[in-house]
Amino acid sequence: MMIRSEDLDFRELNSADEQQALDAHQELLADDFHFLFWTSKGESWDEYTYRMLSWRRGEHLPEGWVRSGFFVAVDHGHIVGRVSVRYELNESLGHVGGHIGYGVLPEARRQGVAAALCRFGLQELAAAGVDRALITCNADNEGSKATIIACGGVLDAQLPTVRNAEGVEELRFWVPTGRAS
C-alpha cells in the first residue's frame, strides 16, 4: 500500500469505523501501543465514539483529566493511524505523555503517516491557542524520535529525559505548533 500524505483525511471516529478500529487496536498491541481507549467492558462502540466527541468538548471528563481529541488518519477509506491530542497538560502529562500521542498501522509505516498525524495534532493545538507542544517518547523508539524531530522538536533544556512509571527512560521534546503570535 503506497500512501501519499497529501491524500490522508483526518477525522474523528464514527459508527462505521468499529471493525477497522478494533483490528487496528489488536495489531498495535504487538507494539504495546493502545490504538483505542476502549477499555470499559459494557460500553457500545457508539457510546465510545460519543465519549471521544464529548472529551473533545471538555464534557464528561474523568476527574483530573484534560480536554482531548482523538483523530484517525484515513487513506482511501482505510484507517492507517491515529493521533490523540491533549489540549492542556496536567501534572502527569507535563512529565510524561505530553500533548500528542500517535500510532501507525504496521503496513502503513515509513511513508510519512506519523509525521502527518503529528502535524495535524500541532494544528489542532495551534487552533486551541497552544504555542508549543510537549511530546514524549521512549528513548529507544527511533521512529517516534525521528518523527518528533522532523516536526521541529527540541529536547527540553531543563528536563530532557525522565523515567516513566515503568522505569523506562523517556525523551521530552517541545515542538512549536506554528500558532501565529
Ligand X SMILES: CC(C)(COP(=O)(O)OP(=O)(O)OC[C@H]1O[C@@H](n2cnc3c(N)ncnc32)[C@H](O)[C@@H]1OP(=O)(O)O)[C@@H](O)C(=O)NCCC(=O)NCCS
Kindly tell me which residue out of 97, 112, 121, 153 binds ligand X, with binding defined by CB under 6 A.
Answer: 112
| CA–CA distance, 136 with 132 (Å, rounded to integer) | 13
144 lies in the site for ligand X, by CB under 6 A: yes
162 lies in the site for ligand X, by CB under 6 A: no
137 lies in the site for ligand X, by CB under 6 A: yes
- Give the end-to-end CA distance of the chain in Å, rounded to a whole number: 39
- Residues 84, 102 contacting (CB under 8 angstroms): yes
Q: Where are the alpha helices (DSSP H) in 57-141?
A: 113-127
Q: Least Å distance between CB 154 and ligand X?
A: 15
Look at residues 49, 8, 175, 6 and name the one whose alpha carbon lies nearest to residue 100. 175
Q: Least Å distance between CB 49 and ligand X?
A: 21
* Cell 502535524 sits on residue: 119
The stretch among 16-24, 56-64, 87-95, 97-105 that binds ligand X (CB under 6 A) is 97-105
Q: Pick the closer one to ligand X by CB: 165 or 180.
A: 165
104 lies in the site for ligand X, by CB under 6 A: yes
Amino acid at position 30, single letter: A
The stretch among 60-68, 84-92, 121-129, 139-147 that binds ligand X (CB under 6 A) is 139-147
Kindly tell me which residue out of 146, 155, 162, 178 binds ligand X, with binding defined by CB under 6 A.
Answer: 146
Q: Pick the closer one to ligand X by CB: 31 or 43.
A: 31
Q: What is the largest CA-CA distance in the chain?
A: 45
Q: Which of residues 16-45 bind ligand X (CB under 6 A)?
A: 31, 33
Per DSSP, what are the bridge partners of residue 174? 134, 154
Question: Which residues, at least 6 apart from 59, have a Cβ–Cβ distance to it below 8 Å?
Answer: none
| Residues at the contact surface with ligand X, assessed by CB under 6 A | 31, 33, 101-104, 109-115, 137, 141-144, 146-147, 150
